Amino acid sequence: MASSHIILPKEEEEEAAAAAVAEVGLGAAVEADHDHRPYQEQGPGKAALPFSATCVRISRDSYPNLRALRNASTMTLHDDDAAFVKLEEGDYGYVLDDVPHLTDYLPDLPTFPNPLQDHPAYSTVKQYFVNADDTVPEKVVVQKNSPRGVHFRRAGPRQRVYFESEEAKACIVTCGGLCPGLNTVIRELVCGLSHMYNVSNVFGIQNGYKGFYSSNYLPMTPKSVNDIHKRGGTVLGTSRGGHDTKKIVDNIQDRGINQVFIIGGDGTQKGAYEIYKEIRRRGLQVAVAGIPKTIDNDIAVIDKSFGFDTAVEEAQRAINAAHVEASSAENGIGLVKLMGRYSGFIAMYATLASRDVDCCLIPESPFYLEGEGGLFEYIDRRLKENNHTVIVVAEGAGQDLIAQSIPAADQQDASGNKLLLDVGLWLTHKIKDYCKSKKMEMTIKYIDPTYMIRAIPSNASDNVYCTLLAHSAIHGAMAGYSFTVGMVNGRHAYIPFHRVTSTRNKVRITDRMWARLLSSTNQPSFLSQKDIDAAREADKAANRMKSREDAKKQSTPVLANGEK
């Protein structure tokens, strides 16, 4: 299969790379799994090119592989990301969106046999190591004539590693809000490094990013983390903000850390990306592995984030309590506010699982209160039919309506997130005022279980998922990659940082899952025809753009070295 594997080098390597290519040309592709030297072998009498000379930096607007990436995904590639993008294009529209590797800027690093090949636990495994060319498709449903699209490097142990066990020195940090499963991930990182790779130097960074330069590093052993998965929260502590890239990397360098495991949401992963960039600029042999965490399940690309299953399960308790309260009173209303700043996944899945919910409100689907087809009319109808009603609302829903009645300053927290007004409390008062105006007796109970859900230990499903994420992160870091790890279409993969930070996963109200919810609750969609048409037009526009780019790509032949 003819393919082009292009690694875009640093700015300072640009002139040398261009000169070298002009002199000798660009040859064979870089070996896919970095098990061998990542530069092209030259023929007799020719000096071997430096690694930077086998790479070509080409404008992101003219380079066909970057266009292919934009064809195959809805991601917008920023200019500052283009310098770190690694793409391999193959037949039938195949595009590998690869992750950075130590040999991208340190080409002469020695490799070592993976200790797992002598591990008794793996002695019965049919295949110790993943194949070098194994990839995971971003889109699993395709049509007969569809291009193969974007793929990611498959996670798992590699035959060769770039850190000797006794020389490896790892650190772990948790940032942002709490989430079920944080302690499980910490435990499995410590135990996995120790038990699988014989790494004895593992440290915990306390209280988030600022702990790199403001706290002592906490030594961690399998014994010290043995039962932490039974507790909620994080034993390392967490915080928002505090990200000073230079100070963080200074401390990583001074302490001799060569593997950094960062657990946090999209803002935290952006910080991990900046740390990687600074590490690369300094030429340090340090791998950065991000493990995405968000209870809202709004991380792009991945199937789901850890803690989500636990959150949905625990949300059932709050919904059940609201249902009991509502059904036990005349004209009883139970109102439950669940997490979901920008994405309503918890509210949607908890509603579908409960079957006791009459109405679910999420940020992606606008709603209105008064008039025909509005929320008040629907509540009135359900009370007359059932004598009670249960409403679930995501915390980010209805913020535009609240802003119309409660002017508020545009404030942000330390992570840069907009501070939201309490939609549950606001909606409670609005419903009370409506019923009072109708001279309708009613009882409303408002339940906000947000911090209860965030603080509990993870359930069995999430514990298993956390273990797999931690092990995949360890395998990738030992193999020299820097990445965010996640499950894509049921397979664990290494995903470039910019892919999980450039967009946000949201509920698509034009998809069947939202239609299933509307069918289950029998609630109105609250969407005007204008809203529906706008959502459909947005989908059509994205498809038209993709089709045009596909046609342009098919009409432009691409040589093995990426040139037209």
Of 543, 526, 224, 552, the C-alpha closest to 393 is 526
452 is in an annotated binding site: yes
Ordered DSSP codes for 70-130:
HHHSSPPPPHHHHTT-EEEE-GGGEEEEE--BGGGT-TT---EE-GGGG-GGGTT-S-SS-
Here the tokens at position 185 are 């991930």
**Mean per-residue pLDDT, 32-43:** 38
Q: Is 280 annotated as a binding residue?
A: no
Q: H or E element: which one contains 453?
A: helix 450-454
Same domain membership, residue 245 and residue 134 = yes
> Is 296 known to be catalytic?
yes
Q: Establish whether 294 is an annotated binding residue.
A: yes
Same domain, 351 and 294: no
Question: Between 87 and 84, where is the model more confident?
Answer: 87
Contact yes or no for 263/235 (Cβ under 8 A) = no
| pLDDT, tens digit, 9 for 90 and up, residues 172-220 | 999 999 999 999 999 999 999 999 999 999 999 999 999 999 988 999 9
| Total domains, the chain | 2
Confirm or deny that 295 is annotated as ligand binding. Answer: yes
Find tokens 């302690």 and name the residue: 183
Confirm whether residue 348 is marked as ligand binding. no
Task: Please write the tens of the pLDDT for every residue from 343-354.
Answer: 999 999 999 999
Q: Was 90 annotated as part of a binding site?
A: no
389 is in an annotated binding site: no
Confidence band, pLDDT 50/70/90 cuts, at residue 78: low
Range of the domain at 271: 86-305+458-501
Mean pLDDT of 48-75: 43
**297 and 162 fall within a common domain:** yes
One-letter amino acid of 172: I
297 and 318 in a single domain? The answer is no
pLDDT in tens, 505-548: 999 988 899 999 999 999 988 876 676 677 677 767 766 665 55
CATH, residue 99 = 3.40.50.450
Residue 310: name the closest of 131, 500, 178 by CA. 178
Q: Reduce the DSSP state of residue 283 to 3 states and report it.
A: coil
Alpha-carbon distance of 35 to 383, in angstroms, equals 67
Helix (H) or strand (E) holding 153: strand 149-154
- The DSSP output letter for 146 is -
- Is residue 125 domain-resident? yes
Task: Find the catalytic residue in 98, 296, 298, 358.
Answer: 296
Across the chain, mean pLDDT equals 83
> Does residue 131 form part of some domain?
yes
Instruction: Answer whether residue 356 shows pLDDT above 50.
Output: yes
Distance CA 391, CA 373 (A): 16
Q: CA angle, corner 204, sides to 201 and 205, nearest 5? A: 130
pLDDT digits (tens, 9 = 90+) for 156-176: 999 999 999 999 999 999 999
Q: Does residue 268 have a known ligand-binding role? A: yes
Name the percent of the chain lying above pLDDT 90: 63
Whether 318 and 287 share a structural domain: no
What's residue 28's pLDDT?
33
Considering the domain boundaries, does residue 522 fall inside one? no
> Residue 516 falls within a domain, yes or no?
no
Q: Is 533 annotated as a binding residue?
A: no
**Do 328 and 213 have their domain in common?**
no
Same domain, yes or no: 224 and 151: yes
> b/e for 428-458, b at 16 or more Cβ within 10 A?
bebbeebbeeeeeebebbbbbbbeebbebbb
Of the candidates 501, 516, 534, which is a domain's last residue?
A: 501
Q: Tell me which of 306 and 128 has the higher pLDDT.
A: 306
Determine the distance from the C-alpha atom of residue 255 to the mean position of all C-alpha atoms in its chain, rounded to a whole number.
29
Same domain, 483 and 395: no
- CATH number of the domain bearing residue 426: 3.40.50.460
Q: What is the pLDDT of residue 561?
A: 38
Is 535 within a domain?
Answer: no
User: Tell me, what's the pLDDT at 412?
Assistant: 62
CA–CA dist 9, 176 (Å, integer):
32
Is 211 among the annotated ligand-binding positions?
Answer: no
In the chain, % of residues over pLDDT 70:
78
pLDDT attached to residue 18: 43
Residue 314 has pLDDT above 80, yes or no: yes
| 58 falls within a domain | no
Q: Same domain, yes or no, for 449 and 467? A: no
Three-state secondary-structure class, residue 267: helix
Candidate from 37-46, 103-112, 123-132 with smallest mean pLDDT: 37-46
Which of 394, 427, 456 terminates a domain? The answer is: 456
Please state the rounded mean pLDDT for residues 62-86.
Answer: 60
Q: State how far the Cα of 450 lies from the Cα of 476, in Å rounded to an integer.
A: 34
Q: Is residue 28 part of a domain?
A: no
- Provide mean pLDDT across the span 50-77: 45
328 shares a domain with 318? yes
pLDDT at 552 > cutoff 80: no
- The sheet that has 443-447: what strands, in order across it? 359-361, 388-394, 332-338, 443-447
Q: Taking 70 as the threshold, does the pLDDT of residue 29 lie above it?
A: no
Across the range 355-377, mean pLDDT stands at 92
Inter-residue contact 340 to 396 (CB < 8 Å): yes
Q: Are residues 148 and 196 in the same domain?
A: yes
Q: Are strands 332-338 and 259-264 parallel, antiparallel or unpaired?
A: unpaired
Residue reference for tokens 């992606």: 364
pLDDT digits (tens, 9 = 90+) for 211-265: 999 988 999 999 999 999 999 999 999 998 889 999 999 999 999 999 999 999 9
Is 266 annotated as belonging to a binding site?
A: yes
pLDDT, position 544: 65
Is the pLDDT score of 410 beyond 80? no
| 267 annotated binding-site participant | yes
Residue 32 covered by a domain: no
Q: What is the pLDDT of residue 143?
A: 86
pLDDT of residue 215: 84
Segment 68-88 shows an average pLDDT of 66
**111 and 228 part of one domain:** yes
Rg (CA), the chain: 26
Consult the annotation and say whether 340 binds a ligand.
yes
In this prediction, residue 124 has a pLDDT band, given cuts at 50, 70 and 90, of confident
**Between 15 and 317, residue with greater pLDDT:** 317
181 annotated as belonging to a binding site for a ligand: no
